[in-house]
Structures are given as structure tokens and as C-alpha cells.
Amino acid sequence: MKVLTVGASGATGQLVIQKLIARDHQVTGMARTADQAAAIGRLGATPVNADLERAETLPAAVADQEAVIFAAGSKGKQLDTVDKGGAISLIEAAGGSGVRRFVMLSSFYVGHPDAGPEKIRAYLWAKHEADRYLEASTLDYTIVRPSWLTNGFETGRIAVSRYFDDPDASISRADVAETLVTALEVPETIRQTFEIISGSTPIRVALESVPGFTSC
């Protein structure tokens, strides 16, 4: 499958690229700078120059792609133009270019932003708007909302739910990346929104159980 990874130079995005390549997907990574493009190339993916804050650059980035994995984030610096506006612009570009599959990396509490930690509440609201826009689209979306991310070892196991009421729950970036890539292969995740934390169920098995969940 031809897959565009957005946020390709980030910690999670790099893991996504490595996992996609290991499964023989044709991977393109979106880059804003020459340094990012070089890093993406070293991972074995094809870099494409585009910027979430420049909507006019996005149609060319999604052209000829079959799927998008969105793993970008501004770390609170450009909430309106990247986390919300950039994501929405990319969703529009994907739909306009005929891309059907769109996997969105979101965050826990995004379904109910005011219940989240106050220090990240603005971020949660930005992601909330982007997620809602994707859910209202005609794309075959999957929205994955992990708990706090760690740099721990990959376990290959998660727990999945509509909502986890556990503010201390966490999950490794590697398990999140594996979930995003596996979601492409599991049709049960299409047009589904769910949260994930570290758990005991193999990732593919957990994702196959998603049907029947509703948006948070």
C-alpha cells in the first residue's frame, strides 16, 4: 500500500515509517525542511516537501497515495495551524485526491477535553475539533487515542476501550506505532474512534474487537 506518514520526523512517526517499510508498504514521509527530508530518506522512505501550515502544499503530498497516517503534533506551539487547522487541511486534501484511508493519532481526553489536565486542555480542544472533522468526513478513518506516551519497550499488547478513566495510564510509543500500522490492515477499525493503553491483549486481536464502540 502507498502510505503517506505525516509527522514523519517525530519520535512516533519514525517508528511508524520503520514498521510500514518492514511490512513492504511504499512509504512517503512529509518533510518541511531539508534536514527532515534527509532523516526520512535515511529511514528508507521517500520524502515529500509539504507543510501543514501551508494548505496549498498538501494536495501534491497526498497525490497517488492510498492511505495517510497522521502522527504530527506541534507540542502546543501551533495548535490552531497544525494540530487543528493543519489536520483539517490534510483531511480535505486527502478527500479531494481520492485517498480513502486515514489513520489519525489523537490523544486520550480528546473526546471530553474539559475533563483532561488543565495544562493540555487547549491542545485537547484543538485535537477534538480535528477528530470531529475527520469523523464527519467520508473517509475510511481510524482515530487512535493513546494515554500518556513513554519510551518504554514494545510489548505488542494493549487494552482498547471507548474511554479509560485512568489519568495515570500509559503506553509505549512503539506500541502506539504498531497500533497505527496494524489498524491499516484491520478493517474492523474503519470509521472507529477508540482509546488505547498498555494492556495484555495482542494488538491485532484488540483491534479486531473494536466494532460496536462509539466515539468518545
* Rounded mean pLDDT, 187-193: 97
Evaluate if residue 119 carries a pLDDT over 60. yes
The pLDDT mean for the chain works out to 94
Active site residue 163: no
Domain ranges, ordered by start, for the chain: 2-208
Instruction: Report how far residue 78's alpha carbon sits from residue 123's, in angstroms, rounded to the nearest whole number.
Output: 9
How many angstroms separate the Cα of 8 from the Cα of each of 33, 41, 48, 129?
A: 12, 10, 10, 22
Q: Are 83 and 144 in contact (CB under 8 A)?
A: no
Per-residue pLDDT tens for 81-90?
A: 899 999 999 9
Give the model's confidence band at 77: pLDDT under 50 very low, under 70 low, under 90 confident, else very high: confident
Per-residue pLDDT tens for 123-170?
A: 999 999 999 999 999 999 999 999 999 999 999 999 999 999 888 999
- pTM of the predicted structure, to 2 decimals: 0.95
User: DSSP for 99-158?
Assistant: --EEEEE--TTTTSGGGS-GGGHHHHHHHHHHHHHHHHSSSEEEEEEE-EEE-----SEE
> Annotated catalytic residue: which of 109, 123, 141, 163?
123
Give the model's confidence band at 215: pLDDT under 50 very low, under 70 low, under 90 confident, else very high: very low
Instruction: Report how far residue 194's alpha carbon sits from residue 17's, in angstroms, rounded to the nearest whole number.
Output: 22
Instruction: Please provide the distance, in angstroms rounded to a whole number, between the alpha carbons at the two ends of the chain.
Output: 29
Q: Which CATH number fits domain 2-208: 3.40.50.720, 3.40.50.170, 3.50.50.60, 1.10.10.10?
A: 3.40.50.720
CB within 8 Å of 156: residues ≥ 6 apart: 175, 178, 202, 203
Say what the pLDDT of residue 75 is.
75
Say what the pLDDT of residue 48 is.
97
User: DSSP for 154-171?
Assistant: --SEEEEES----TT-EE
Show the cell assigned to 9.
520526523
